[in-house]
Amino acid sequence: MVETDYYELLGVSRDADGGTIKSAYRKLAMKFHPDRNPGDAEAERRFKECAEAYDCLKDPQKRAAYDRYGKAAFQNGGGGGGRQQGFGDFSDIFDNIFSEFMGGAAGGGRRQQRSRAVRGGDLRYDMELTLEEAFFGAEKTIEIDVAATCDACQGRGAAPDAVVEACGTCGGMGQVRVQQGMFVIERACPQCHGAGRVTSKVCEECLGAGRVDKEKSMRVKIPAGVDHGTRIRMSGEGEAGARGGPAGDLYIFVHLLPHEIFERQGTNLHVSVPVCFTDAALGGVIEVPSIEGEMVDLKIPSGTQSGKEFRRRGQGMPSLNGSGRGDLVVTVEVETPTRLSKRQKELLEEFRSLDEEVRSSPRSANFFTKIRDKWDELAG
């Protein structure tokens, strides 16, 4: 008998991410849901197969074991010698999968089932910002795919003319108890699938889930001073809750784009500025760029060496908590001229002859003195 591949069942590639797998499962679950295909044994079989596949692939550990050993990873003694958690029977899979499809855990304990309201899932959005946007703050419009409350049924999952009543099998609890040997196990009610209620006709828009996938547009205010990895929480902007539960939250993760001029380190900004060798030798005032888009003056002393750092206090990034700004750290790179006029060459030749007497470059003189002394030591 040929083993059915879970990825083929869901119609996804083997390198598909979790969101793609979840989206593919939801479409198939809606298509083959028993409430939508009453009395159709083939649809029920397909629904169970998809549920089993999703239960495996949504869990990173189970997925890794399946990729390596196939279904043998979940059989007693199967897999790579380590102990793996099996699927159990289909009722366990259905409880877990259907609860996620409905927006929460169906088997999460009696207290949760009595309330039946399940909080919606949290969402993540990765936002790219320029350094200037992080400095000044910004307002951005984002588009997200979210499970929102179904407008057609207002989240009830039932058609407008349907009769909704407490489930007779579980008495509205959403759970039933099953005796297995010495243990009593609570499972999602097979009649209402953990909802605690049944309806004579499900909503055609959401197929009884009470939620539908929508594209949502919103404006997000980014505060000044955000850094790479900053997390912004937007309460109640996540997925809609199931069975009247509160909505989840939206978490925005900031990613700063590389800048052509500045490098950010915390609240400090670093910039390298080329300086002609005459300014470095004689000292003076040079212009350096600032994040505000202006040039500011920086005084450098005579004899400034390449790689020397200068700091302008309070010219860096603002603190996210509003406690001032960091510094602008300027690294000087002394530039050697590449095109000299005849007169310039004459002056430099004169300078070189005078430098042999004055020794105005002690570092280079000391360096070569050390080299000669070392060679003399080796020769002796």
CATH of the domain at 126: 2.60.260.20
Distance (Å, rounded) from C-alpha 185 to C-alpha 118? Answer: 21
| Whether 230 and 269 share a structural domain | no
Q: 139: closest CA among 40, 226, 229? A: 226
Query: Given this model, what pLDDT does residue 364 score?
Result: 59
Tens-place pLDDT, residues 85-97: 334 334 444 444 4
Total domains, the chain? 3
Q: Is residue 142 part of a domain?
A: yes
Distance (Å, rounded) from C-alpha 378 to C-alpha 372? Answer: 10
Confirm or deny that 189 is annotated as ligand binding: yes
Q: What is the mean pLDDT of residues 293-303?
A: 93
| Whether 143 and 246 share a structural domain | yes
Q: What is the mean pLDDT of residues 44-56?
A: 87
Q: Domain of residue 143: give its range.
A: 121-153+207-257
Confirm or deny that 203 is annotated as ligand binding: yes
Return the structure tokens found at 47: 């629904």
Query: Given this model, what pLDDT does residue 114 score?
Result: 42
Between 136 and 31, the higher pLDDT residue: 136
Confirm or deny that 56 is annotated as ligand binding: no
Confirm or deny that 192 is annotated as ligand binding: yes
Of 73, 88, 103, at which residue does a domain stop?
A: 88
Counting residues of the chain whose pLDDT is more than 70, the rounded percentage is 81
Q: Is residue 160 part of a domain?
A: no
CA 178 to mean position of chain CA atoms? 41
Find which of 34-43, 80-89, 135-144 is predicted with most confidence, using mean pLDDT: 135-144
Q: Is residue 106 part of a domain?
A: no
Q: What is the mean pLDDT of residues 331-349?
A: 90
Q: What is the mean pLDDT of residues 108-113?
A: 41
Query: Given this model, what pLDDT does residue 106 score?
Result: 39
Distance (Å, rounded) from C-alpha 360 to C-alpha 86? Answer: 79
pTM of structure: 0.56
| Whether 298 and 355 share a structural domain | yes
